[in-house]
Structure 1
Amino acid sequence: MRATWRRLPAKLHEVGWEPGLEVPAADGSPLITDHYFPRTEGDFPTLLVRSPYGRGLPWSPMYGLLFAEQGFHVALQSCRGTGGSGGEFDLWRNEAEDGRATVSWLREQPWFNGTLGTVGPSYLGYVQWALALDPPPELKAMVVQVGLHDPHALFHSGGALHLEKALAVGLGMTYQHQGVGPFVKATLRLQRRLREVTTAKPLRGAYTAALGCEVPWLDEVMTRPDADDPYWRGASQAESARRLRVPTSLITGWHDGLADQTFEQYERLRAAGCETSLLVGPWTHTSALQQGWPEVFAESLAWLRAHLGPDTSGLRPTRVRVHMGGENAWRDLEDWPPAPYTGRWFPTAQGHLTREAPSDRAPLASFRYDPDDPTPSVGGQLLSRTAGPRDNSALEARDDVLTFTGPPLTEAVDVLGPVSARLSISTDTGHSDVFTRLCDVDAQGRSVNVCDGLGRVRTHGQEPAQITVAMSHTAHRFAVGHRIRWQISAGAHPRFARNPGNGESAVDATTFTPVRITVHADSALTLAADAGGREPGAAGEG
């Protein structure tokens, strides 16, 4: 373990292990739990780590051994219906009551001193929010790493299905708790059959060829795009953050497929007056727990020591720390977002990006999107290893991708905060998606994605529709000589399921219709400047 990562803190305690403890779930099913503990006399706080991904690699060394070495009891538990635990796994529905049942069991253990923290990534973050909906009095600190609170938003946004995320989650939930061997075999099968599955007509049920079995809950989440559908009732734990008083540390990466949920969590905690901190690294969902683990572990350990014990020496002086893309440096900030100013950039018919607002709503450029030859996804916020910054040059050479590019910068431009696009769009079929991306173009012409977003467009006749697309958050420096680029297309497949172009469901459609999409002059890209004040792109026009 220590040979894998550099810069881990020195071991403070030898570790003992009690595997296979049976903890009664809310329905009486046994929740199999491994107890890691310091082999040292004395009282130590307890960390509860509940996971649907098993209790072996990487969870046992990363959360059992490493935290126990630092002076914590760790209860590493398999969620209901996974990793040997009894009952049936039902995505999100049992986590609150099973978490409370586990705390009741902890109260009866002779080694439990009444001080409890929680920690974990991804769905291990969701179970923390579920417990926090009605937090037990013993809960004194939470650390949510690349975690979610809203399952609907994981699978859908604006009516569009996050197809690649759905398949990744289905794979992980089905196989990871079975051990490394079955998980690796299933991962390779999904990679081999990804194109076959994601281009199937209809899409419904096609995943079974790649996952090797039916996953009933995956069928449900893929076919219910409406957040108001009764199926999703009780799924979101957003209410936890709105009233929480438990000190909570949030950790994410700019290219994490759950980053937007982390920013929502931070906003709600701040509004509630809850003590919180935010760390955002140059990571994807997976790299945060791999290359980024030394920083993630140090941040988590410092927060837990400060709030479960008397040691506050590891806390940083500011509430927020972000990694600046394009600069490869960390910045400490008082809050997020820090920028008091937002500036707009406008596209021109010549493919430029300018600060000068247009005088009309004239059509600027159009392209044809063919769902049978969908615009491919390149990097971005995903759960897989293909996430992150990538060279977009081949993508931008396609006929179905528009780019609008600013002039070479004579001064560096720092963009810190949420990015969004206001788009004026007309279509010939009335149905389309629009994918919009901010890119950094270097002096050699290499275009690299910074952040992006997708929205669904409905139009009537030739009248353009107005749509605002959230493009996530960023902290990025556009260096001198670089250019700011706005990329627009009608999809990113298989990251998002293809829009059929005719109003049919993306999951059930068997007929696809090509769409002619036109961007109008009153579209705008909105960027946030840094707190130092200069407007983005104020220098270097022309």
Structure 2
Amino acid sequence: MTPLGVTVEGLATDVLLPDGAGPFPAVLIRTPYDRRRHGAELRGWARRGFAALAQDVRGRYSSTGTWRPYTGEAADGAMSARWLRRQPWSDGRLVAAGASYAAHCALVLALEAPPEARPDAVIAAVPAPGAAGTAREHSGVERLAARAGWWAAHGDRRDSDARALDKALAADPGLLTHLPVTGLPDRLGRNLPSWPGLWRHREQDLVARAKDAPVPVLLVGGRHDHFAEETLALWHRWGGPSARLLMGPWGHGLTAEPGPDARPPHRVALGDLYARWARRALAGRLGSGHGGAVALGGSPLWVSAGTEGEPHRAELTPLHGASFTADPERPVSSADLAVPTGGVPDRCLLVTAPLPRPLDALGPAEVRLRASAGTPSADWFVRLTALTARGTAQRLALGVVRRAHVPGRPQEFSVPLGGLGRRLPAGTRLRLEIAGHHFPAHARNPHSGADPVTATRLLASRRRIEEGHVALWLSVLRSPPHPIDPVQEILR
């Protein structure tokens, strides 16, 4: 292998060429997380016959310029693609690849670059959908802790400090409770000029643009990743000639971060799969349309992507909290699955009877309810938890909607919980919590109608759930699922 270190219009780029005579197809990874961390990945691609490139995005690590997250990546990627295709070792074919922010770079290159600069295929793992999609849920509710952690670690700086927020919280445990949210940089003691601007982004248009995609894509996600729903939405909307999905019981780190429902068959050799898929994509040997594989967590099975169960209403028994107070000064914790048994109720709590037999939940879930709020604005968080027969609690799903209310007037609405992919053993009970906050994962709604990121005054919100008007709907497989080989499905 032949290593090269080059600068492309100020962008530091590591190039690793395979042994043998070229020219070669190329793989481009554009990252804000230090190109030097991708050495093993580049060697893996080069061993498989690809010219492999890792590049620091503008303003990060060894690249010149100013770091502006989610800005200018399509233009810089297009410039790099043009440069790459002019090199004597390039055969002109290009795969844009990456995970998280690097996946965002790959996707916008495919969706926004002019035809001569766009890649021939895209591999996007746990893709960050863009400024608006990372900052907010589809309902508009603000993702606070994850964005605060990312901006503290990476925002408006040349390098990274992965523990920046942890260190700040150790010095001030109430750091994220201080208002306004836009004042976080002052409390961190850091200059973060892009932080207030992050919250002005509301249009989540990356998924919308996917319908115009001109190239094949391989999307890889984890059910426990905070971008799982965006990954699924990109796959559904992708308009290119071929779209493949691999969705496993993983977190943001994929196979290196298995969830509690992961099993040994869910260990997939991603590097080898990526290379084999890329070869077929560049050769035009992928089947058309949408396909792939999703894992059924809690079992050893993979099933075809797009497999969904039939609607099933789970019977719920109310425990307490049909009337409760959503108090932003004492919000329901996003970090703790324990439920308080005394004091003023801060949530509505319902459970199912123990499952008489195993249940395969595969597909979208939602809660339908009739409820009222005593304030003009209210967030409604619904958390679904599996209570095992051994007494442990496992997260299954979370959904949230933000609604305007005429105080005290009941209204009917639904809270989508996203897609489930889990085998629930016999004896499992499902616990449903309906609350007004989920902090610090999400910013607190001040309930006054003011913007949660600029508000400085918080109001308590009295809530009432009308008994007999809460329904949990799951997608349930009525017969045993047909098992598949995930690699074969991706390579079809």
TM band (smaller chain): 0.7 to 0.9
Does residue 435 of structure 2 align to residue 489 of structure 1? yes
- Structure 2 residue aligned with 1:454: 400
Displacement of 1:277 in angstroms is: 1.2
Distance (whole Å) between structure 2 residues aligned to residue 244 and residue 431 of structure 1: 38
Distance (whole Å) between structure 1 residues aligned to residue 185 and residue 423 of structure 2: 40
SS at match of 1:301: helix
Displacement of 1:189 in angstroms is: 1.9
Distance (whole Å) between structure 2 residues aligned to residue 293 and residue 39 of structure 1: 30
- Structure 2 residue aligned with 1:432: 378
Distance (whole Å) between structure 2 residues aligned to residue 397 and residue 500 of structure 1: 25
SS at match of 1:96: helix
Distance (whole Å) between structure 1 residues aligned to residue 276 and residue 153 of structure 2: 29
Task: Kindly provide the amino acid, as one letter, of the partner of residue 266 in structure 1.
Answer: W
Distance (whole Å) between structure 2 residues aligned to residue 377 and residue 528 of structure 1: 25
Q: Is the 8 A contact 2:59 2:158 kept in 1?
A: no
Matches within 5 A, 1:34-73: 34-57=14-37, 59-61=38-40, 63-73=41-51
CA RMSD of aligned residues (A): 2.8
Task: Kindly provide the amino acid, as one letter, of the partner of residue 123 in structure 1.
Answer: Y
Q: Is the 8 A contact 2:148 2:165 kept in 1?
A: no
Residue-by-residue CA offset, 1:75-134 (whole Å, 9 max, x unaligned): 211111112222222222211111111111112211011111111011111111211124
- Structure 2 residue aligned with 1:31: 11
The change in CA–CA distance for 1:280 and 1:461 in structure 2 (over 3 A counts) is same
Residue-by-residue CA offset, 1:439-472 (whole Å, 9 max, x unaligned): 2111133221111111113221321123322212
Displacement of 1:71 in angstroms is: 1.8
Does residue 293 of structure 2 align to residue 321 of structure 1? yes
SS at match of 1:304: helix
Does residue 124 of structure 2 align to residue 144 of structure 1? yes
The change in CA–CA distance for 1:214 and 1:46 in structure 2 (over 3 A counts) is same
Q: Identify the match of residue 477 of structure 1 among 412, 423, 427.
A: 423
Q: Is the 8 A contact 2:124 2:219 kept in 1?
A: yes
Bigger Cα displacement from structure 2, 458-467 vs 45-54: 458-467
The change in CA–CA distance for 1:283 and 1:176 in structure 2 (over 3 A counts) is farther
Residue-by-residue CA offset, 1:266-285 (whole Å, 9 max, x unaligned): 1102xx36311111112111
Residue-by-residue CA offset, 1:283-323 (whole Å, 9 max, x unaligned): 111354556885332332221132235998xx9xx932222
Does residue 256 of structure 2 align to residue 297 of structure 1? no
Q: Identify the match of residue 393 of structure 1 among 338, 348, 358.
A: 338
Task: Kindly provide the amino acid, as one letter, of the partner of residue 450 in structure 1.
Answer: L
Q: Identify the match of residue 100 of structure 2 among 113, 122, 128.
A: 122
Distance (whole Å) between structure 1 residues aligned to residue 87 and residue 389 of structure 2: 62
- Structure 2 residue aligned with 1:11: none
- Structure 2 residue aligned with 1:538: none
Displacement of 1:175 in angstroms is: 8.0
Task: Kindly provide the amino acid, as one letter, of the partner of residue 262 in structure 1.
Answer: T
The change in CA–CA distance for 1:308 and 1:169 in structure 2 (over 3 A counts) is same
Task: Kindly provide the amino acid, as one letter, of the partner of residue 164 in structure 1.
Answer: A
Task: Kindly provide the amino acid, as one letter, of the partner of residue 243 in structure 1.
Answer: D
Distance (whole Å) between structure 2 residues aligned to residue 301 and residue 469 of structure 1: 39
The change in CA–CA distance for 1:461 and 1:213 in structure 2 (over 3 A counts) is closer
Matches within 5 A, 1:174-253: 174=155, 178=159, 183-184=161-162, 186-193=164-171, 195-210=173-188, 212-222=189-199, 224=200, 226-227=202-203, 236-253=205-222
Q: Is the 8 A contact 1:55 1:177 kept in 2?
A: no
Displacement of 1:258 in angstroms is: 0.9
Q: Is the 8 A contact 2:388 2:428 kept in 1?
A: yes
SS at match of 2:64: coil
Distance (whole Å) between structure 2 residues aligned to residue 155 and residue 397 of structure 1: 34
The change in CA–CA distance for 1:175 and 1:451 in structure 2 (over 3 A counts) is same
Distance (whole Å) between structure 1 residues aligned to residue 124 and residue 340 of structure 2: 35
**Number of positions where the alignment pairs a residue of Structure 1 with one of Structure 2:** 467
Residue-by-residue CA offset, 1:141-176 (whole Å, 9 max, x unaligned): 211000033421211132321101211221343388
- Structure 1 residue aligned with 2:484: none
Residue segments in structure 2 that go unaligned for 5+ positions in a row? 259-265, 482-492
Distance (whole Å) between structure 2 residues aligned to residue 225 and residue 109 of structure 1: 38
Q: Identify the match of residue 257 of structure 1 among 222, 226, 234.
A: 226
Distance (whole Å) between structure 2 residues aligned to residue 207 and residue 168 of structure 1: 12
Does residue 487 of structure 2 align to residue 530 of structure 1? no
Bigger Cα displacement from structure 2, 250-259 vs 289-298: 289-298
Distance (whole Å) between structure 2 residues aligned to residue 433 and residue 23 of structure 1: 47
Please give the TM-score of this superposition, normalised by the length of structure 2: 0.87
- Structure 1 residue aligned with 2:368: 422
Displacement of 1:187 in angstroms is: 4.9
Task: Kindly provide the amino acid, as one letter, of the partner of residue 367 in structure 1.
Answer: F
The change in CA–CA distance for 1:153 and 1:23 in structure 2 (over 3 A counts) is same
Q: Identify the match of residue 237 of structure 2 among 265, 268, 271.
A: 268
Bigger Cα displacement from structure 2, 523-532 vs 302-311: 302-311
Displacement of 1:376 in angstroms is: 0.7
Q: Is the 8 A contact 1:346 1:522 kept in 2?
A: no
Q: Identify the match of residue 330 of structure 1 among 286, 290, 301.
A: 301
Distance (whole Å) between structure 1 residues aligned to residue 82 and residue 197 of structure 2: 32
Identity of aligned residues (%): 26
Does residue 143 of structure 2 align to residue 162 of structure 1? yes
Distance (whole Å) between structure 2 residues aligned to residue 490 and residue 303 of structure 1: 44
The change in CA–CA distance for 1:190 and 1:278 in structure 2 (over 3 A counts) is farther
Displacement of 1:339 in angstroms is: 2.0
Q: Is the 8 A contact 1:376 1:395 kept in 2?
A: no
SS at match of 1:319: strand
- Structure 1 residue aligned with 2:490: none
Residue-by-residue CA offset, 1:337-381 (whole Å, 9 max, x unaligned): x22521233545456xxxxxxxxxxxx8111122111111037xx
Q: Identify the match of residue 99 of structure 1 among 49, 72, 77.
A: 77
Residue-by-residue CA offset, 1:46-70 (whole Å, 9 max, x unaligned): 001111222122x232x32222222
